Amino acid sequence: MLGKALMREWNGDAVTGLNSRDADIRDAKRVQQAVRDSRSECIVLAAAYTDVDGCENNPELAFAVNRDGAVNVASAAREAGARLLFLSSDYVFDGKKTQPYETGATRNPQSVYGRSKAEAEMALIEVLPESCIARTSWLFGTGGKCFPDTILKLAASRPALDVVNDQRGCPTYVIDLARAIVQLCRKDARGIVHATNAGDCTWFEFAQEIVRSAGFATEVRPVSSAQMARPAPRPSYSVLSAASLRRLGIEMPTWQDALRRYMDERNKLGS
């Protein structure tokens, strides 16, 4: 989803987009060759095993792709003299805070997915200390399966929806994130950065706004995470502070504004 948005939004530079068939990031030799062939100055690693519940049930694959795959890309970047921007996640935090997480906050992931991302971050800092680690959260966009799309499809056929109201985070439109990533690369950003749309909400509040802006009469009912048990635990609060992005002179729009643009994009695509 983010990879497609990056390919759309990155103008003015020569950009090569690679998918999982071009290079499986678990294959160090193939990755090394792909990085050499692309002769890129800057690599954005948006590939990951992103199914959070899938990771919980298949930790070997999660660590092989999300941690070891990232190390393969970082090693190839180091060898080729390229810079690396790695996408990480709010799920590296335990969610016990009640104020936005700053970049230096202690990692304490609660899920396999979160652990695989946290371990990738720590390994990258060793392998390629000048890497940029961009943590983001709750991605949505037209290029893949996402929460607003699921809610819109369900709302079209159901009179009521139950949505969890005890997890708070920052929904982020992949188009806005892609634009921020282009700026981060152009500014040669290094270290950890938090990049999300501005503002925060719970999944319930997000769903309410989605249903309202689509004009559905569907009732959205708040429920607890315990009522909607899933294999992987999620942080109850994973709002990422915008301070690191602001220090670099980058501002992202609010998630409500982003949602409006996503709905327009979706309507234009006729989905």
Ligand X SMILES: NC(=O)c1ccc[n+]([C@@H]2O[C@H](COP(=O)([O-])OP(=O)(O)OC[C@H]3O[C@@H](n4cnc5c(N)ncnc54)[C@H](OP(=O)(O)O)[C@@H]3O)[C@@H](O)[C@H]2O)c1
The binding site for ligand X (CB under 6 A) comprises 1-3, 19-20, 24-26, 46-50, 65, 69, 87, 89, 136-139, 144
Least Å distance, CB 26 to ligand X, is 5
Least Å distance, CB 101 to ligand X, is 13
What's the CA gap between 50 and 120, in Å, rounded? 14
Tally DSSP H helices, then E strands, for the chain.
11, 10
The structure tokens listed for 30 are 């193939």
Catalytic residue, from 113, 173, 237, 262: name it: 113
Least Å distance, CB 250 to ligand X, is 17
What's the CA gap between 254 and 271, in Å, rounded? 24
Least Å distance, CB 65 to ligand X, is 4
Residue closer to ligand X, measured from CB, 19 or 157: 19
Q: Which of 133, 14, 28, 135 is nearest to 73 (CA)?
A: 28
**Amino acid (one-letter) located at 63:** F
Residue closer to ligand X, measured from CB, 101 or 138: 138
Residue closer to ligand X, measured from CB, 137 or 142: 137
Residue closer to ligand X, measured from CB, 138 or 216: 138
262 is catalytic: no
Q: For 158-168, b where at least 16 C-beta lie within 10 A, e where not — what string?
A: eeebbbbbbbb
What's the CA gap between 221 and 105, in Å, rounded? 33
Active site (catalytic) residues: 113
